[in-house]
Amino acid sequence: MKKNLTLLSLLCIGLVMKAQTSFTGAYGYSFKPQGDPPATEKNRGPKGNLVLLKMDGNKYRFWLDVETGWPQYHVGETDGTITFVNDTASFDNTFEDATHPCILSFKITGNMVTINSHSSSFNCGFGQGVHADGEYTKLKMQPVFNNEWLKKEYPQSPVALVTGNRAEIFQDETCLHSFSPKRYFVKGDKFMSIAETEKCIYTEYIPSPGKFIYGWIKKSEVKILPAD
C-alpha cells in the first residue's frame, strides 16, 4: 500500500510540474539567401519570428511574422490565441477568400516550436511564397516582455484611463461573464484599447514579467485619452 501511495504521489507531482510548464518566449529561425545576393543582402534570407505569452493555464497569446527575404521580401503575419493540449495546439488562420482551409499546427519539443500550415500562402493570407511552416528555436537573447514591448504590437491603439474606483475585467465582449475570481483595474490605471464593441473595449496588459492580464472592460468605466 505504501509503495502504491508513493507511485501515486510521484505521478501527481509530475502532472503538476507539466501543468506549470510555461512556453512563454521568443522563438525564431533564419537562413542565408539562396542564389547570388549583393553584399548588402547576404544576411537577408528567409526568417521567421514567433512569440508565445502565457495567458491562463494552457492558453497562450501568439504573434507570428515570416518573410522570404532576398530577393522578393514577401511577408506574412498573424496573431491569435491558442490552447495547448499536452504539447500541441492549432489555430484557424484561413484567409477570407481562401479556396482551402489554413490550419496552423503548433508542436512543442524542448526549446523548439514546429509549425505546419497544411496549406498555401494564399489560403493563409500571406504574401506570395510565404509559409509559416518551420522549426522555431527559442532565442538565446530574449526580449523583455512588458507594456513597452506590447505597445509595439499595437502602435495605433489609444490609451484608456480608469475613472471610477475600479473597473471589472470580463471574459467576453458583452462584459457579462466575469473571471473567477473576479479581476479589476483600479482608478488611475492606464491600458491600451485594442478592440471594441458597442459597450466594451478589449485590452492586454503586462504588470510584471510572467503576468499577462487580458479581457473586456465597460466603456462607461474608462476614458479614452487623446493621442500624444
Q: Give the helix, strand, coil percentages of the chain, each rounded to 5.
A: 15, 40, 45
Residues 6+ apart with CB under 8 A from 160: 190, 191, 192, 193, 201, 203, 217, 222, 223, 224, 225
pLDDT attached to residue 47: 95
Residue 138 has pLDDT above 50, yes or no: yes
Q: Do 22-138 and 147-224 share a fold?
A: no
Residue 209 has pLDDT above 70, yes or no: yes
The vertex-44 CA angle with 39 and 45, nearest 5°, equals: 120
Residue 84 has pLDDT above 90, yes or no: yes
Give mean pLDDT, residues 184-206. 97
The whole-model pTM stands at 0.86
Q: Percent of the chain scored above 90 by pLDDT?
A: 75
Identify the band that residue 20 occupies on the pLDDT scale cut at 50, 70 and 90: low
- Please report, in angstroms and rounded to a whole number, the separation of the first and last CA atoms in the chain: 68
| CATH top class, domain 22-138 | mainly beta
Residue 177 has pLDDT above 60, yes or no: yes
What is the fold of 147-224?
SH3 type barrels. (2.30.30)
Secondary structure letter of residue 7 according to DSSP: H
pLDDT attached to residue 10: 37
- 129 versus 27: the higher-pLDDT residue is 27
pLDDT attached to residue 46: 93
pLDDT attached to residue 1: 44
If you average pLDDT over every residue of the chain, what do you get? 90
3-state DSSP assignment of residue 122: coil
Residue 18 has pLDDT above 50, yes or no: no
Identify the band that residue 98 occupies on the pLDDT scale cut at 50, 70 and 90: confident
- What Rg do the C-alpha atoms of the chain give, in angstroms? 21
Residue 178 has pLDDT above 60, yes or no: yes
pLDDT attached to residue 118: 82
Q: Which of 125, 85, 78, 79 is nearest to 101 (CA)?
A: 125
Identify the band that residue 227 occupies on the pLDDT scale cut at 50, 70 and 90: confident
Distance (Å, whole) CA 117 – CA 215: 28
Give mean pLDDT, residues 33-61. 92
What is the domain partition of the chain in residue ranges? 22-138, 147-224
Chain segment 106-133, per-residue pLDDT in tens = 999 999 999 999 888 889 999 998 999 9
